[in-house]
Amino acid sequence: MCRTVDLHQAVLAKNDTNAVELRRTLDDRGTTAVN
């Protein structure tokens, strides 16, 4: 059970990181990311 939760948390963390990276990329382009 612990392992499943850890994997789930890892996926969520990865998605959060991707969202932050995307937001930074959009900011670099001068585009506002609304989400």
Q: What does the pLDDT look like over 8-31, one tens digit per residue? A: 888 888 888 888 888 888 777 766
Domain range spanning residue 4? Answer: 1-35
Token code pair at residue 6: 């850890």
Q: How many domains does the chain have?
A: 1
Q: Are 32 and 26 in contact (CB under 8 A)?
A: yes
pLDDT at 15: 84
pLDDT, greater one: 22 or 35: 22
Token code pair at residue 35: 């989400």
Q: Read off the pTM.
A: 0.47
pLDDT band at 34 (very low <50, low <70, confident <90, very high): low
Angle at 34 between CA 11 and CA 5, to 5 degrees: 15
